[in-house]
Structure 1
Amino acid sequence: MDQPTVGILHPGSMGAAVAACAAANASEVLWCEAGRSTASAGRAAEFSLTPVAALPALLERSDIVISLCPPAAAEDLARDVAGHRFDGVYVEANAISPQRTQRIAALLEPDATVVDGGVVGSPPIRGKTPTLYLSGPVAAVARIEALFASTAVVTRTLGTEVGKASALKLSYASYQKTSRVLVALAVGMAREHGVDQELIEVASRRTDSYLAEPEYVAKAAARAWRWGPELEETADTLAAAGLPPELLRAAASTLARWYDVKDDSELTLTDALDRLAQP
């Protein structure tokens, strides 16, 4: 099979790194400059992605489009793509509910073939090997598996039903991200009473406890602008399944206190806890 041309929407920290892996088995990886930030442009340049001026040009040239953007933008982005009658394979790889994924598939079909994707893990740089879970039509899923063959992105197929990959992603996120939020609350409460070091000492006896990694709270704070909407999506998924969504909504509300420190790599644990206590 000829190497496909791939379009990435858009080159964020995850999207740019995933696109760079796809480049190993693609003839070219494109990104759209229109409306993107200087940070996006910098990441695209770092990973040697090919710029195009506008979305129509990217869609016209791409055989496969991968959507990796903030959850809140996923549906509008798909609507824009559908408006241009894209007829290739569209990988909906955002952290959104199965219901939204299915709505996006309905927007894009029958012109495009939609593959549901869910990335679990960190961006594939510096030895990290995230897993891209896939579900959807067999032939289209096989093309995505081939696209990432022998790269740092490991693919796993969950079946033919669009929505399965999204469900797995949000099921994992409901534990992983909420656990990080609970660490922040636990350490913050202990600090208020002067026992935070003792709490960490207790937790360090259990190496599988997030409480043994309080330094990660600052990273969680810097990522809150993405994690909050993702937990809202997870809460919607729980509610649709007849399960109580309140814990996830509360965790999202907690993360909202950190929205003003978006991607702040200099944030310390003390800064993050201060902002949590005094938003």
Structure 2
Amino acid sequence: MDQPTVGILHPGSMGAAVAACATANAATVLWCEAGRSAVSAVRAAEFGLTPVAALPELLDRSDIVISLCPPAVAEDLARDVAEYGFTGVFVEANAISPERTKRVATLLEPGAIVVDGGVVGSPPVRGKTPTLYVSGPSDTTARIEGLFAGTAVQTKVLGTEVGKASALKLSYASFQKTSRVLVALAVGMAREHGVDQELIEVASRRTDSYLSEPQYVAKTAARAWRWGPELEEAADALAAAGLPPEMLRAAATTLARWHDVKDDGELTLTDALNRLVHP
């Protein structure tokens, strides 16, 4: 069985937990001490990761490198790896756009093999089982599946095209994370008027995720002519409460792209999405 040496860049809360799962099927999992905090060192030790002094040593010893770092520094980190001349497998698992992921691939190829990755879910601790979606060369994505086989990190291959895993990660994040912000705005507005508990009670009657009901997009489009002004009113209410209104104004601007399909009961999901792209 292939027992690769794996390097993790870097052992943050997600990176360290994912790397710890990789130890089940790897010869060893390395992390680089250079420039990392004492908190990172403690976390890496708790997860059983092996320290090395500097990036060149990690790259020399690693067959597979997994990059899980803040999105803002993902390309700079990849550039450092490319400048060293790394020739193993580089898993770009950061929450960055497909376009940026492809730029990372351009930096590292043909010397290295790049796998696009995206982790959906919470760090794999205390019973959590996130999924690592991957896309890239089929023989290499199979190696990544093997690396996490039997662990709390589930893997799913999306195909051979770099960018697919990143697209899925950001598509999901755009809803999941923005919806949390919307919750803050809605509860904040309600609290300003003393009806926050009533709002929560109303919402508790429905527990399904709107994301699982894409067919409703067509109905949204047909109602956009009145939903948009309603959100503008809500934005005004947020502003009056001292809360930021920009998100709701942006939603109203999006709805404006559907103004020409007012009350169109025949509109399909495909039509609605097409009109959103080409109003």
Answer whether TM exceeds 0.5 for this pair: yes
CA distance in 2, matches of 1:83, 1:157: 29
CA distance in 2, matches of 1:98, 1:17: 24
Equivalent pair of 1:95/1:166 in contact (CA under 8 Å): yes
CA distance in 2, matches of 1:250, 1:190: 20
**1:208 to partner: Cα distance:** 3.0
Identity %: 84
**1:247 to partner: Cα distance:** 5.3
SS at match of 1:132: strand
Look up the equivalent residue of 2:202 and give its one-letter code: V
CA distance in 2, matches of 1:9, 1:72: 14
CA distance in 2, matches of 1:42, 1:83: 29
**1:201 to partner: Cα distance:** 1.0
CA distance in 2, matches of 1:200, 1:190: 9
Report the RMSD for the aligned CA atoms in angstroms: 1.8
The change in CA–CA distance for 1:34 and 1:248 in structure 2 (over 3 A counts) is farther
Aligned to 1:98: 98
Alpha-carbon deviations, 1:205-248, whole Å to 9, x = none? 112369xxxxxxxxxxxxxxxxxxxxxxxxxxxxxxxxxxx959
CA distance in 2, matches of 1:52, 1:39: 16
**Counterpart mapping for 1:1-279 below 5 A:** 1-208=1-208
The change in CA–CA distance for 1:19 and 1:250 in structure 2 (over 3 A counts) is farther
Look up the equivalent residue of 2:142 and give its one-letter code: A
Equivalent pair of 1:32/1:54 in contact (CA under 8 Å): yes
CA distance in 2, matches of 1:103, 1:15: 22
CA distance in 1, matches of 2:37, 2:10: 10
Look up the equivalent residue of 2:96 and give its one-letter code: I
Larger Rg: 2
CA distance in 1, matches of 2:138, 2:28: 24
Alpha-carbon deviations, 1:58-99, whole Å to 9, x = none? 000000000000100100000000010000000000000000
CA distance in 2, matches of 1:2, 1:119: 23
Look up the equivalent residue of 1:51 and give its one-letter code: P
SS at match of 1:24: coil
User: Which 4+ stretches in 1 moved above 6 angstroms?
Assistant: 248-251
CA distance in 2, matches of 1:58, 1:123: 23
Q: Structure 1 unaligned segments of length 5 or more: list them.
A: 211-245, 252-279
Look up the equivalent residue of 1:48 and give its one-letter code: G
**1:2 to partner: Cα distance:** 3.1
CA distance in 1, matches of 2:158, 2:115: 11
Aligned to 1:275: none
Equivalent pair of 1:116/1:134 in contact (CA under 8 Å): yes
CA distance in 1, matches of 2:33, 2:168: 32
Equivalent pair of 1:203/1:209 in contact (CA under 8 Å): no
Matched positions, count: 216
CA distance in 2, matches of 1:132, 1:11: 16
The change in CA–CA distance for 1:146 and 1:177 in structure 2 (over 3 A counts) is same
Alpha-carbon deviations, 1:240-278, whole Å to 9, x = none? xxxxxx959979xxxxxxxxxxxxxxxxxxxxxxxxxxx
**1:42 to partner: Cα distance:** 1.3
Look up the equivalent residue of 2:29 and give its one-letter code: V
CA distance in 1, matches of 2:66, 2:21: 12
Look up the equivalent residue of 2:62 and give its one-letter code: S
Q: TM-score, normalised by structure 1?
A: 0.75
CA distance in 2, matches of 1:249, 1:46: 45
Look up the equivalent residue of 1:160 and give its one-letter code: T
Equivalent pair of 1:32/1:58 in contact (CA under 8 Å): yes
CA distance in 1, matches of 2:96, 2:22: 22
Q: Structure 2 unaligned segments of length 5 or more: list them.
A: 211-245, 252-279
Look up the equivalent residue of 1:119 and give its one-letter code: V
SS at match of 1:134: strand
